[in-house]
Amino acid sequence: MSPVTLGPAYDGSMRALLVVDVQPTFCEGGALGVEGGNAVAEGIAAFAARHREQYGLVVTTQDWHIDPGAHFSEAPDFVDTWPPHGVAGTAEAELHPALASLSPDASVKKGQYAAAYSGYEGTSDDGRNLAHILAEAGITSVDVVGIAESHCVKETALDSRREQLPTRVVSDLTVPVSPDQGAAARAAMAEAGVTYVTAAEAFPAD
């Protein structure tokens, strides 16, 4: 991969935008479609286009299942087992068409042979994990957006805090599987020190 060109820091930190699992498989009409997923994809595309220069790095994550074992089930419980989704090489597993102009600096794929919720469980095509990518670029804080708030967004945000990174979730650029699961996820993230901002609040000087 060619060297990353870092944009100017907005607030004295080098901030990354983590775009989590914005794939057709998790949007309306997909195998595990979440209500509001397509609107979130469109919103992320507009937000990233407006604020691209305020991020030192933009990284996408994707579910990219090859043979994830018990993660897939013909009788899923929708807690630990799920119907097939994000199958590697299918159109549903690609990035959402709304992100066609995103031009991320790095991309990681996760869950090839086991369940994987956090983007930190993924690797790039050249074998680097997300923590390595962020550290290599000198990232000191992250914003997390994507699908679903109650699952992969939550786990990615929690792992960002475990990496000692100040972490924000952009509240109107994510959506949970259900309201109850969303509330539980927000409580878990708040306890870990994740903060919430709206897209309008993210860069208030604009």
Is 24 within a domain?
yes
157 inside domain = yes
Residue 2 lies in a domain: no
In this predicted structure, the answer to whether residue 10 has a pLDDT above a threshold of 80 is no
Q: What is the full DSSP assignment across 175-200?
A: E-SSHHHHHHHHHHHHHTT-EEE-HH
The CA distance from 191 to 133, in Å, is 26
Classify each residue of 61-86 as buried b or exposed e, where b means 16 or more C-beta atoms within 10 Å of its C-beta: bbbbbeebeebbeeeeeeeeebebbb
- Annotated catalytic residue, options 21, 63, 143, 159: 21
**Is residue 8 domain-resident?**
no
Query: For the chain, how far is it from start to end, CA to CA, in angstroms?
Result: 32
Distances (CA, A) of 31 to 35, 91, 93: 12, 11, 10
- Given pLDDT bands bounded at 50, 70 and 90, which one contains residue 44? very high
Query: In this structure, is residue 9 part of a structural domain?
Result: no
Range of the domain at 187: 15-202
Catalytic residue chosen out of the listed positions 27, 105, 109, 110: 110
109 is catalytic: no
Q: Is the pLDDT of residue 9 over 70?
A: no
The tokens of 118 are what?
A: 């956090």
What pLDDT is recorded for position 76? 82
- Does the pTM surpass 0.85? The reply is yes
pLDDT confidence band for 5 (50 / 70 / 90): very low
pLDDT one-digit tens code per residue, 53-81: 999 999 999 999 899 988 988 888 888 88
pLDDT above 70 (res 152): yes
Q: Indicate if 180 belongs to the active site.
A: no
State the CATH number of the domain containing residue 143. Answer: 3.40.50.850
Please indicate whether residue 97 or residue 114 has the higher confidence score (pLDDT). 97
pLDDT, average across residues 79-98? 93
Question: Which amino acid, residue 105?
Answer: D
| Number of domains making up the chain | 1
Q: Which residue has the tokens 């804080």?
A: 141
Active site residue 152: yes
Is pLDDT above 80 for 11?
no
What is the bridge-based pairing of β-strands 57-63 and 15-20? Answer: parallel
Contacts of 197 (CB under 8 A, 6+ apart): 168, 169, 170, 171
Q: Would residue 3 count as lying in a domain?
A: no
Asked if 108 contacts 88 with a C-beta cutoff of 8 angstroms, the reply is no
Average pLDDT over residues 136-144: 97
Of the candidates 48, 66, 7, 14, the residue with the CA atom closest to the CA atom of residue 146 = 48
pLDDT band at 206 (very low <50, low <70, confident <90, very high): low
Highest mean predicted confidence (pLDDT) among 12-16, 114-118, 131-135 = 131-135
Q: Which of 63, 105, 152, 154 is catalytic?
A: 152
- Whether 4 maps to a domain, the answer reads no
